[in-house]
Structure 1
Amino acid sequence: MGLLQKPEPLGYPRAARDTHTVAAPLLAGAALALAGVVAGADEKNFRWSGVSLLVLVAAAMALIASIELHQYSHQYLYSRQDIHDWYEIDPANTALKAKLYELQGDDYARWTKYNDRAVACFRMGTAVLGAGIITCVIPPEGGQQAIWRWAAAGLVFLCFVTEALWAVSIYREHKILRQMRGVLRSAVAKPRESE
């Protein structure tokens, strides 16, 4: 039989879909809305309005890239059951079955490649968005309520660091999980046949 691939953990594609079709668009919209506020505001309201605008737009573009990469990658994600649903395979035709399973394994590798890039863009986008929010809330010279704005900047920075550490942690955990279970490029010795 040919190579078959499956996600580890099995719920990963659903989580990736939710991230790139719900969270990423909402965060990109928030980044662009905040960029619009910065662009339309008087310069004395922000310490670094130009930097804030640039960082927020960069965050939005990274998040939009994650959406696009995910959409592109999703065409390569399908299961063994999808093969049996779309092709009427004669059980005696092991060559066709092996070829279709091999194609599924190759396509899964493509999905992994582009989905991993989408995840990297999402992580970069959220990190840059955090930096953009920090540049927006830092008080301007002589601004009012500076202590509260500095506290907000500190809180966002704390969340930014926590998110970065968590992203690195789950990246490592996911990579180890894939390797432990032999999913990166392993052959499935005896795939379950569809009735």
Structure 2
Amino acid sequence: MKKGCKIPLIIVGTIIGAFILLAIIISIFPPSEEKKQKMAQAKIEFKQDYESLKKSFRELEEAKKELKELKEAERKKAMPKNSIKKIFGVAKKPDDSGIVRIYYTETHCSIDYRFFPLGLFLKYESELGVKLAPKIKKLYETDDQIMTLSIDVISPFQDKYGNITWGLVVSFGFTRGIFNRINWSRFLDNNLLKVAEDVTWYRTP
């Protein structure tokens, strides 16, 4: 038995023991009529106190149970976000690609993704597809609750003075239906934005 449960039981046991002792004393020394009335009233009050104590004990146990369930729900709620961050990575350094914001419900995930393109061989759109397609595939394979996904892609821009600023470049959506239609064994990752939905360009990279 847990330590927290022992104290109420000790109190209940003490009260019951006192009541038994009182009954023994009464059997040895019969009380007067006035004392009988007082004892009857005391018995009623004792019963009320006892019932009140039992109620408080039940409420305490229910409160502890609710707190435990709440903590478990919060833990489960945090698990998908942590899994998504692990899949996509988190942008920590100035030149890192990764998540900078995430919003998650049971069936939808919205991500602000910072993408730092290398720009060596592929166009921006193709390089972005190569970067994100495997991650999106893994997300849908890992979490069967997610139905829709929306991603806002943020990238750096440099002006003629050499100053770098980050801005929204493109946003797009993805669904489990699209995921299921793709033949992933033959799909070219650089075509990601060609199969995505609601593709919107905000700036020319």
TM over 0.5: no
More helix by share: 1
Bigger RCO of structures 1 and 2 (CA < 8 A, at least 6 apart): 1
Greater C-alpha Rg: 2
Q: What's the TM-score once normalised by structure 2's chain length?
A: 0.30
